[in-house]
Amino acid sequence: MKKDPRQAGEPSNIFRFSGPAGAWRFENPTLIIAWDEDAGKLGPKVVEYINRQLDAKSLCEVELAGFFSLEGVAVENDIAQFPQGKFYYCGRNDLVVFKSNEPRLERHKFLDGLCDFAQRYCKISQLYTLGATVSSVAHTDSRRILAVFNQEQIQQELSPLGVENMNWQGPPAVSSFLLWVAQRKGIPGVSLWTEIPFYLAAGEDFQAIKATLSFLDKRFDLSLDLAELDEQIRCQNAKIDRLRQDDAQIDGYIRTLESKLSLSADEQVELSKKVAEAL
Amino acid sequence: MAIIFYKEPKLKNPVMFCGWPGIGNIGLTAIDTLRVVLKAEEFGQIEPWDFFDPQQVRIANGLLKDLEFPSNKFYFQRLETCPEPCRRDRDSIFFIGQQQPGEGPARYAQGQKAYEMANLVLDVAEKFGCQRVYTSGAAVTAIHHTARPRVWAVPNKQNLIAEIKEYDNTILMSQIEGRSNQGAITGLNGLLLGVAKKRGLEAICLMGEIPYYLQGAPWPYPKGSESVLRVLLKILDVTVDPSASSGQALSRLDKLAEKVEENIEGFLESLYAAEAVPPEVRDEIERLRHVSHEPGPITEEEQKRIMEHIDELFDQRPWKDEKGPSTGGGTQ
């Protein structure tokens, strides 16, 4: 008999179904994960784009207590924020999406419960995490997608698709922690880290969003219409071009980055500030 | 939450020694040096992932190679295989934790996680027949860094008081002027004492003194550790051969203590020279150089004022992860 994940003692009882259990059908789907706290809003924007185009419905959501400090609400851009984490069913049996704030407490329990739920109730075959890595590339450069795999087999599968292997030793992001948890459960996984220029990190980088969506579109044959993003990229680039025309110093900074040279810390701050104002 | 044992040694009447990071790492350094002196062997660990976040990831050529968590390991040493001559009638178990579990922004252990950790440690103590547990930490007090730190001892049972009074260079809370026989032990040191009491186990916390103006310093205070270690060696009646490798561990601690004291002198002199601390704060610190161990003329208000000036001079390390490993393209 299929167990109800809401049953006490189940690792996956950190999730609460939004609708009736069993209203979806999956066939070894891929789980795509994005965290709301992402530079250039890359991960959440990519997932929102997919959810909108594929008319996704909420499947279940995480119980917040125990994973987030619930001592009040944060206010961002005049709006009260509250943490959430939801699974989405996209109407396709090969894809399931999870978008969430990063857990602040009991991170292992959260990630373990996430993998457990995805494995038991969605029968996922692999998982992808999406995120941005802040870089000193110029906005006029193409966006590389760096990748971290938890198994060699999935690395071999994805390498021909143009992702570049990442090297890093230091404090881990939550996606690497998740990849490690998945590895221990035998779930193949990859973290995709799309480069974004540091001066677009505080806002949105539509080109990085498009690069990530294009990769996923190609990988999963999503038939996404990216025209809206093309227009946003054109508009963003036009605003930065105007700034460059009006401000020779800023133009010089960006030219330096385009020449693959680096800026000083003060110059980086100045460029980020002026671009944020212009956008 | 689980404990993994690599082996289950049969131990005779063992004593457990617990060390984890804290102010000046006094307790951790003392207990870990004792572990090295006795050449204790690792035999188990507490699974760390439900207590701690990972500290380090290693990604090489696109593959996730390793995720490192703070370790929480158990070690043992049997009397008959102990490398140092001693008249002990007890084997030893060590618990060395690299971090105290906590919830939220607290610096030291608190909350449910800490309680669970304390219980797991004592589960191991009881499993192997321990009746006595020693923990160790720091006693923040009004002494100068050139003074010899004493050891404050707090037992969890009345019948241990007489034994403690026999320890060298050691005082009870009631013997400290101005304390009114009261105080508090924060973090796992205190919690373990309480949980042991609840379980009927004897436990003693030994705290090496540290000057209060150094309690926020990012460096260790080995002088306080030395004081605790000497008490522990006496308790175990261990005679260390200075020429042996275990003796070299003690010698290293001595040298480190000397070096740190020199550095503290240099640090304070540079602060004075740069006028980074007000003259009255400097005078209060320097006055301690010439007073005894008693709290003496420094009031709590004066102590607070000194701390406000000294603490802000100690740096905080920035945090980076894969989201921003470098400004050079995200790879290194």
Give residue B86's pLDDT: 63
In one letter, which amino acid is A257?
A: L
Measured distance CA(B63)–CA(A167) in Å, rounded: 8
- Report yes or no on B126 lying in a domain: yes
How many angstroms separate the CA of residue A19 from the nearest CA in chain B? 31
Q: Is residue B261 part of a domain?
A: no
Contact assessment for residue B95 and residue B72, using Cβ atoms and an 8 Å cutoff:
yes
Bridge partners (DSSP) listed for residue B153? B172, B206
The alpha carbon torsion through B65, B67, B73, B77 (nearest 10 deg) reads 20
- pLDDT recorded at residue B76: 95
**Whole-complex ipTM:** 0.82
Question: Rounded distance, CA B194 to CA B244, Å?
Answer: 38
| Res B309: pLDDT | 59
Q: Does B182 touch chain A (CB under 8 A)?
A: no
Select the residue of A39, A107, A148 nearest B59 (Cβ to Cβ): A148
Most confident of A192-196, B115-119, B194-198: A192-196
How far is Cα A233 from Cα A226, in angstroms, rounded to an integer?
11
B64-71 contacts, C-beta under 8 A, 24 or more apart: B64/A148, B64/A149, B64/A150, B64/A176, B64/A179, B64/A180, B64/A183, B67/A172, B67/A176, B67/A177, B67/A180, B70/B97, B70/B98, B70/B99, B71/B45, B71/B96, B71/B97, B71/B98
**How far B53 CA sits from the closest chain A CA (Å)?**
7
Using a 10 angstrom Cβ sphere, with 0-12 exposed, 13-18 middle and 19 or more buried, the burial of residue A89 is: buried
Q: What are phi and psi of B87, to 5 degrees?
A: -105, 25
What is the rounded radius of gyration, in angstroms, for the C-alpha atoms of chain A? Answer: 20
Q: What share of chain A is helix, strand, coil (3-state, %, to 5)?
A: 40, 25, 35
Distance between CA atoms of B231 and B225, rounded to whole angstroms?
10
Residue B315 predicted with pLDDT over 60: no
**Is B156 domain-assigned?**
yes
Nearest by CB: A177 against B61, B67, B327: B67
Beta carbons within 8 Å of B330's beta carbon, 6+ residues apart: A133, A134, A135, A144, A146, A166, A193, A195, B322, B324
Q: Which domain holds residue B206?
A: 3-256
Please determine, for residue B50, whether its predicted confidence score (pLDDT) is greater than 90: no
Q: Could you tell me if residue B124 is inside a domain?
A: yes
In a domain, B279, yes or no: no
* Residues composing chain B: 332
CATH number, domain containing residue B252: 3.40.50.10900
Return mean pLDDT, chain B. Answer: 83
HSE value, Cβ hemisphere, 13 Å, CA-based, for B316: 5
Q: Which of B61, B320, B327 sits opposite A198 (nearest CB)?
A: B327
Q: A182-192, pLDDT tens digit by residue?
A: 999 999 999 99
Give all strands of the β-sheet with B15-19 in edge-to-edge order. B3-5, B41-46, B72-77, B92-97, B15-19, B132-141, B202-211, B151-155, B170-172
Looking at the predicted structure, is the pLDDT value of residue A9 above 50?
no
Of A69, A176, A268, which has the smallest distance from its Cβ to B57's Cβ? A176
| A183-235 tens-digit pLDDT | 999 999 999 999 999 999 988 999 999 999 999 999 999 889 999 999 999 99
Prediction pTM value: 0.79
Number of separate helices (H) and strands (E) present in chain B? 8, 11
Instruction: Establish if B297 belongs to a structural domain.
Output: no
Contact A136 B327 (CB under 8 A): yes
Enumerate the residues of chain A whose CB falls inside 8 A of the CB of residue B332: 167-169
The burial class, CB within 10 Å (0-12 / 13-18 / 19+), for B214 is: buried
Q: Which of B254, B239, B228, B86 is nearest to B167 (CA)?
A: B228
- Measured at the CA of B115, the angle between CA B112 and CA B116, to 5 degrees, comes to 85
Chain A nearest C-alpha distance from B108 (Å) = 16
| Superfamily the domain A11-226 falls into | PAC-like subunit (3.40.50.10900)
| A175 in Cβ contact with A191 (< 8 Å) | yes
Structure tokens at B7: 């082996």
Q: What tokens were used for B327?
A: 């400004």
d(CA B174, CA B162): 13
- Per-residue pLDDT tens over the stretch A13-65: 777 777 666 667 788 889 999 999 899 899 999 999 999 998 888 888 888 77
Q: How far is the C-alpha of A33 from the C-alpha of A100, rounded, in Å?
A: 8
Question: Is residue B51 in some structural domain?
Answer: yes
Q: Widest CA span of chain A, in angstroms?
A: 70
**Residue range(s) of every CATH 3.40.50.10900 domain in chain A:** 11-226
Q: Is residue B302 part of a domain?
A: no
Partner residue opposite A131 with nearest CB, options B60, B61, B323: B323
Q: Is A131 on the interface with B (CB under 8 A)?
A: yes
B313–A contact, CB cutoff 8 A: no
Are A171 and B321 inside 8 Å of each other by CB?
Answer: yes
> Number of structural domains, chain B?
1
> What confidence category does residue A7 fall into, taking pLDDT thresholds of 50, 70 and 90?
very low
Bigger pLDDT: B319 vs B272: B272
Residues of A in contact with B60 (CB under 8 A): 167
> Residue B328's pLDDT is what?
31
Average pLDDT score over residue span A78-92: 81
> Dmax of chain B from CA atoms?
65
A179 touches chain B (CB under 8 A): yes
